[in-house]
Chains A and B, each alone.
Chain A
Amino acid sequence: MQKSFKILLILSILFSLLIFPLQAAAPIKIGAIFPITGPIATFGISSANGVKMAFEEVNAKGGVLGSKIELILEDDQYKAEEVANAAKKLIERDKVVAIIGEVASSMSLVLAPICQASKIVMITPTSTNPRVTLVGDYIFRACFIDDFQGTVMANFVYKTLKLKTSAMLVAVTSDYSKGLAQFYKEAYTKLGGKIVAEESYSEGDSDFRAQLTKIKAAKPDFVYLPGYYSDIGPILLQARELGITVPFGGGDGWDSPKLIETAGKAAEGCYFSNHYSPESQDSKVQTFVRDYKKKFGETPDALAALSYDAAMLLVEAIKRARSAEPSKIRDALMSFTKDKPFRGVTGTIYFDQNRNPVKSAVIIEIKGGKQVYRATVRP
């Protein structure tokens, strides 16, 4: 009896010695919530890849502040209730210090109040609706906002393409789509352009012929179509079937290889505003594109790049704060300035008072079944 007790004691001392160094470098837990399945799954997968790649790079170099970063990834299927469940799980059970996500603005608007209430830093890589970061002082984003994106497109259409009348087809179920349409309309009419038709649809619809027939009757020079790629493909196909030949254009929601796959020739000569172009000659972009291709076997889209930047922003902030306390990470994120910005793949970033980054946009044309870089627009 006594002997076994002694052995147990020795063993437990040995084990505690083993555990001790492990405890000193407990991993920093960071959560991520993306729509890995569901109607915008390519967005979720690209974003998850970007985040994974960033953290693996950091961990390979020994992590931050001597700790590795542990990524806890959740899939929300692009459903509001799943976003809320995942957020509660990450915060209460996993005790993460920050959450990267969501992709879509409608979903980020569900996630933001939960993070704000628990005082956890949230950084959405891609949600462009202005209301997202207005939820509170713990909510950040890595992308520009709709305001800017809609204006950029209106300028491009009116000034560069010289098209003076536009129609709009808007997804009424999406905050993202409605936001873009509103800012496009404001900027376009201010320039002197005319909106000749305004139609709407619900995400996930499959028959758009009624609306498109009306748009055709209005004879616009250009159709603004802010939405996500899964709806854009069928819309473009049906528009071409009905004999609408003018160019269509949209925002970063178009950025998916699936778009060209579904729309095929119907997408030729269309334009969209985006966060970055993989064709850019910037060395940071080139390294990122090369490493990403090696790892995942495809060219990274803007979502992958933004998510990579969002993850790196967090790492940089933890380094600057010398702590993984959410409140200190928050302060460190706000400490980037115009002269000393964060340098990411999608451009330089520092935050304004609403925690929106100040950065540039690019315009991409779909040509020959490929995305071709057209222009960079600075704020």
Chain B
Amino acid sequence: MENIVQQIINGISLGSIYALIALGYTMVYGILRLINFAHGDIYMMGAFLGYFALSFWNFSFPMGLLFAMGGAAVLGIIIERFAYRPLRLAPRISLLITAIGVSFLLENLMVLWLGASPRPFPQKIPLEIYFIGNIVITNRQIIIILVSIILMFLLQFIVLKTKVGKAMRAVSYDKETALMMGIDIDRIIALTFAIGSSLAAAAGVLVGLYFNKIDPYMGIMPGLKAFVAAVLGGIGIIPGAMLGGFILGIAEVLVSAFISSTVRDAVAFIILIFILLIRPSGILGKYMREKV
């Protein structure tokens, strides 16, 4: 029993990271119908921005987190402006291929610049361990879960309660009509990328703190898994991405605990296949017919 509770705590910490990354996927998909495969690499860039801020410029942890989020937001805008915007009228497959290209570009630029070796992440927050009976929870796990939940609520607030959020929803619903209503589509799309990227960067910094290891290829697997999480919850739906992230994190940990740790990475993709077979629109998704 203790064992299961411990594993679920491990799973929630991991899941909240997937959830943060999945939010960016879902937002961009919701608005542009684009699966931004470079998103996992923005998460990696965020981790490195945090690394530089904390180790070389000696920022405090919250400042480092904000710096990484801001830097990644700028990066997201740049990528959208130069890689995706010129292709907005092109077939969707060209956009997808460009996204994969951007992903490789970011990874290899970082390898070229810093080398592929993993490096330890500055441990700005000293570790504290709390015991509840025999169950262990660390202050870092609490920080990860809290920061993720705060960011998710903040995002929900922006999307549902602000004018910008309203514009985002309008663009996602019907781009042409939104344009006719006087919404600056380019600005809204850039903003979507900025917000999505900054959430990924936050996940990157939190992962650095949690795992104490970052490298230029760290974005590949979590990126794919967050994509699965987004599909699982219903791509384009913000609460769905959160739900998907948590389910995936817990499933992964439980599978490696009670079945076998070798199939850990496979779980995400087995879930993906099942969800596509049984409920292609995801758990919270509604069945929608493609417009002809």
Interface residues of A (CB under 8 A from B): 37-39, 41-42, 77, 172, 199-202, 204-207, 209-211, 213-214, 217, 230, 233-234, 237, 241-243, 261-262
Contacts and interface: CB of A to CB of B under 8 A. Distances in A.
A230 B218 CA distance: 13
A209 B6 CA distance: 9
B116 A211 contact: no
Nearest to A208: B261
B127 interface: yes
Contacts of A211: 256-257, 261
B160 interface: no
A42 B254 CA distance: 34
A37 B7 contact: no
Contacts of A213: 3, 6-7, 10, 257
A217 B4 CA distance: 11
Nearest to A230: B118
A264 to B, nearest CB: 8
Nearest to A42: B117
B179 interface: no
Contact of B257 (A37, A204, A210): A210
In the complex, the 3 A-B pairs of residues with the closest C-beta atoms, listed nearest first:
A206-B211, A209-B10, A210-B256
Given A209-B253, A243-B131, 14 more contacts: A37-B116, A38-B116, A41-B116, A41-B117, A204-B217, A210-B252, A210-B253, A210-B261, A213-B6, A234-B211, A234-B212, A234-B213, A241-B136, A261-B120
Interface in B242-291: 252-254, 256-257, 260-262, 264-265
B215 interface: yes
A77 to B, nearest CB: 6
Contact of A37 (B115, B138, B212, B261): B115
9 contacts: A39-B116, A39-B117, A199-B261, A200-B260, A200-B261, A202-B262, A210-B257, A210-B261, A214-B257
A242 B136 contact: yes
Contacts of A39: 116-118, 215
A204 B264 CA distance: 13
Contacts of B262: 172, 200, 202
A172 B265 CA distance: 13
B28 interface: no
B257 A38 contact: no
B111 interface: yes
Contacts of B213: 206, 230, 233-234, 262
A201 B211 CA distance: 15
Contacts of A241: 127, 129, 136, 138
Contacts, number: 81
Interface residues of B, number: 35
Interface of B is mostly: helix
Contacts of B136: 241-243
Nearest to B222: A206
B7 A210 contact: yes
Interface string B182-194: 0000000000000
Contacts of B14: 207
A171 to B, nearest CB: 10
A240 to B, nearest CB: 9
B207 interface: yes
A37 B129 contact: no
Contacts of B264: 202, 205, 210
Contact of B129 (A38, A202, A243): A243
B140 to A, nearest CB: 8
Contacts of A261: 120
Nearest to A207: B14
Contacts of B3: 213-214, 217
A42 B127 CA distance: 27
Contacts of B215: 39
Nearest to A262: B120
Contacts of A199: 261
A122 to B, nearest CB: 25
Nearest to B134: A243
Contacts of B212: 233-234, 237, 262
A243 B127 CA distance: 12
